Structure 1
Amino acid sequence: MDARTIIGWNLRRLRVEHGLSQERLALAAGIDRAYVGRVERGSENVTITTLEAMATALSVPVAILLTEPAADAPPPMPLRAGRKRAS
Protein backbone atom coordinates (compact mmCIF):
# COMPACT_ATOMS: atom_id res chain seq x y z
CA MET A 1 0.00 0.00 0.00
CA ASP A 2 1.32 3.46 -0.80
CA ALA A 3 1.30 6.26 1.78
CA ARG A 4 -1.77 8.05 0.37
CA THR A 5 -3.79 4.83 0.40
CA ILE A 6 -2.73 4.07 4.00
CA ILE A 7 -3.71 7.54 5.17
CA GLY A 8 -7.06 7.36 3.37
CA TRP A 9 -7.80 3.88 4.74
CA ASN A 10 -7.02 4.93 8.32
CA LEU A 11 -8.88 8.22 8.01
CA ARG A 12 -12.07 6.52 6.84
CA ARG A 13 -11.79 3.78 9.49
CA LEU A 14 -11.36 6.31 12.30
CA ARG A 15 -14.03 8.65 10.98
CA VAL A 16 -16.58 5.83 10.80
CA GLU A 17 -15.56 4.53 14.27
CA HIS A 18 -16.24 8.02 15.64
CA GLY A 19 -19.56 8.16 13.80
CA LEU A 20 -18.58 11.28 11.86
CA SER A 21 -19.63 12.15 8.34
CA GLN A 22 -17.03 13.60 5.99
CA GLU A 23 -18.78 16.93 6.41
CA ARG A 24 -18.57 16.86 10.23
CA LEU A 25 -14.92 15.82 10.17
CA ALA A 26 -14.11 18.57 7.68
CA LEU A 27 -15.89 21.15 9.82
CA ALA A 28 -14.05 20.02 12.97
CA ALA A 29 -10.69 20.04 11.14
CA GLY A 30 -11.31 23.34 9.33
CA ILE A 31 -10.96 21.86 5.85
CA ASP A 32 -13.23 21.31 2.83
CA ARG A 33 -15.53 18.25 2.79
CA ALA A 34 -14.57 17.36 -0.76
CA TYR A 35 -10.92 17.38 0.31
CA VAL A 36 -11.69 14.78 3.00
CA GLY A 37 -13.26 12.57 0.33
CA ARG A 38 -10.21 12.88 -1.93
CA VAL A 39 -7.90 12.03 0.98
CA GLU A 40 -9.99 8.95 1.81
CA ARG A 41 -9.81 7.83 -1.84
CA GLY A 42 -6.03 8.31 -1.81
CA SER A 43 -6.08 10.86 -4.60
CA GLU A 44 -4.78 13.82 -2.59
CA ASN A 45 -1.29 14.57 -1.27
CA VAL A 46 -1.84 15.66 2.31
CA THR A 47 0.33 18.15 4.18
CA ILE A 48 1.47 17.37 7.71
CA THR A 49 -0.56 20.37 8.91
CA THR A 50 -3.73 18.89 7.43
CA LEU A 51 -2.92 15.45 8.89
CA GLU A 52 -2.49 17.08 12.27
CA ALA A 53 -5.83 18.92 11.97
CA MET A 54 -7.68 15.70 11.05
CA ALA A 55 -5.95 13.72 13.80
CA THR A 56 -6.85 16.40 16.34
CA ALA A 57 -10.49 16.36 15.19
CA LEU A 58 -10.49 12.56 15.65
CA SER A 59 -8.62 12.77 19.00
CA VAL A 60 -5.83 10.44 17.85
CA PRO A 61 -2.07 10.84 17.38
CA VAL A 62 -0.95 11.68 13.83
CA ALA A 63 1.06 8.43 13.76
CA ILE A 64 -2.19 6.41 13.76
CA LEU A 65 -3.03 7.85 10.33
CA LEU A 66 0.33 6.63 9.00
CA THR A 67 0.17 3.07 10.37
CA GLU A 68 -0.17 0.40 7.67
CA PRO A 69 -3.20 -1.85 8.27
CA ALA A 70 -2.77 -5.61 8.52
CA ALA A 71 -2.85 -7.39 5.17
CA ASP A 72 -6.02 -9.27 6.17
CA ALA A 73 -7.82 -6.26 7.66
CA PRO A 74 -11.27 -5.75 6.16
CA PRO A 75 -11.82 -2.43 4.41
CA PRO A 76 -13.53 0.27 6.50
CA MET A 77 -17.29 0.18 6.19
CA PRO A 78 -19.21 3.34 5.24
CA LEU A 79 -21.52 5.11 7.64
CA ARG A 80 -25.20 4.31 7.32
CA ALA A 81 -26.76 6.65 4.76
CA GLY A 82 -29.20 9.34 5.77
CA ARG A 83 -29.55 11.73 8.62
CA LYS A 84 -29.45 10.75 12.25
CA ARG A 85 -32.78 10.79 14.02
CA ALA A 86 -33.36 13.55 16.53
CA SER A 87 -33.08 12.39 20.10
Structure 2
Amino acid sequence: MNIKEKFGFKVKQLRERKGFSIEYLANISNVDRTYISDIEKGKRNVSIQIMEKIILALDADFIEFFNDNNFKK
Protein backbone atom coordinates (compact mmCIF):
# COMPACT_ATOMS: atom_id res chain seq x y z
CA MET A 1 0.00 0.00 0.00
CA ASN A 2 1.45 3.38 -0.97
CA ILE A 3 1.21 6.55 1.16
CA LYS A 4 -1.79 7.91 -0.78
CA GLU A 5 -3.68 4.67 -0.18
CA LYS A 6 -2.68 4.64 3.50
CA PHE A 7 -3.88 8.21 4.00
CA GLY A 8 -7.14 7.52 2.17
CA PHE A 9 -7.76 4.34 4.13
CA LYS A 10 -7.31 6.21 7.41
CA VAL A 11 -9.63 9.04 6.31
CA LYS A 12 -12.32 6.54 5.31
CA GLN A 13 -11.87 4.58 8.54
CA LEU A 14 -12.28 7.67 10.72
CA ARG A 15 -15.14 9.05 8.60
CA GLU A 16 -17.10 5.83 8.88
CA ARG A 17 -16.34 5.50 12.60
CA LYS A 18 -17.85 8.97 13.10
CA GLY A 19 -20.87 8.03 10.96
CA PHE A 20 -20.13 10.80 8.45
CA SER A 21 -21.06 10.53 4.80
CA ILE A 22 -18.57 11.74 2.23
CA GLU A 23 -20.93 14.63 1.51
CA TYR A 24 -21.05 15.65 5.18
CA LEU A 25 -17.26 15.47 5.52
CA ALA A 26 -16.97 17.55 2.35
CA ASN A 27 -19.27 20.20 3.82
CA ILE A 28 -17.53 20.48 7.19
CA SER A 29 -14.01 20.37 5.73
CA ASN A 30 -14.75 22.63 2.77
CA VAL A 31 -13.23 20.06 0.40
CA ASP A 32 -15.11 18.86 -2.69
CA ARG A 33 -16.85 15.52 -2.17
CA THR A 34 -15.38 14.00 -5.33
CA TYR A 35 -11.94 15.00 -4.11
CA ILE A 36 -12.56 13.26 -0.78
CA SER A 37 -13.83 10.19 -2.61
CA ASP A 38 -10.64 10.12 -4.70
CA ILE A 39 -8.54 10.56 -1.55
CA GLU A 40 -10.23 7.57 0.07
CA LYS A 41 -9.51 5.51 -3.06
CA GLY A 42 -5.83 6.49 -2.92
CA LYS A 43 -6.05 8.39 -6.20
CA ARG A 44 -5.06 11.86 -4.98
CA ASN A 45 -1.75 13.32 -3.93
CA VAL A 46 -3.08 15.41 -1.05
CA SER A 47 -1.57 18.76 -0.06
CA ILE A 48 -0.80 19.56 3.54
CA GLN A 49 -3.57 22.18 3.54
CA ILE A 50 -6.17 19.62 2.47
CA MET A 51 -4.83 17.11 5.01
CA GLU A 52 -5.28 19.72 7.72
CA LYS A 53 -8.86 20.51 6.67
CA ILE A 54 -9.86 16.84 6.64
CA ILE A 55 -8.09 15.84 9.85
CA LEU A 56 -9.57 18.80 11.73
CA ALA A 57 -13.05 18.10 10.32
CA LEU A 58 -12.72 14.54 11.58
CA ASP A 59 -11.79 15.96 15.01
CA ALA A 60 -8.62 13.89 14.93
CA ASP A 61 -5.25 14.64 16.44
CA PHE A 62 -2.45 14.90 13.87
CA ILE A 63 -0.03 12.80 15.90
CA GLU A 64 -2.59 10.10 16.56
CA PHE A 65 -3.71 10.19 12.93
CA PHE A 66 -0.24 9.39 11.64
CA ASN A 67 0.88 7.29 14.62
CA ASP A 68 -0.91 4.28 13.25
CA ASN A 69 0.33 0.90 12.12
CA ASN A 70 -0.93 1.74 8.62
CA PHE A 71 1.81 4.39 8.30
CA LYS A 72 4.61 2.19 9.58
CA LYS A 73 6.65 -0.05 7.30
If the length of structure 2 is used for normalisation, what is the TM-score?
A: 0.87
State the aligned residue count: 70
Where in structure 1 are there 5+ consecutive unaligned residues? 71-87
CA distance in structure 2 between the partners assigned to 1:66 and 1:43 by the alignment: 22
Identity of aligned residues (%): 29
| Largest Rg, 1 or 2 | 1
CA distance in structure 2 between the partners assigned to 1:36 and 1:66 by the alignment: 21
Q: Deviations over 1:31-85 (max 9, x none)?
A: 1000000000000000011001001001102341573429xxxxxxxxxxxxxxx
Equivalent position of 2:68 in the other structure? 67
If the length of structure 1 is used for normalisation, what is the TM-score?
A: 0.73
Where in structure 2 are there 5+ consecutive unaligned residues? none
Equivalent position of 1:58 in the other structure? 58
CA distance in structure 2 between the partners assigned to 1:66 and 1:3 by the alignment: 13
Query: Which is richer in helix?
Result: 2
Calculate the aligned-residue CA RMSD, in Å. Answer: 1.7
Equivalent position of 2:10 in the other structure? 10
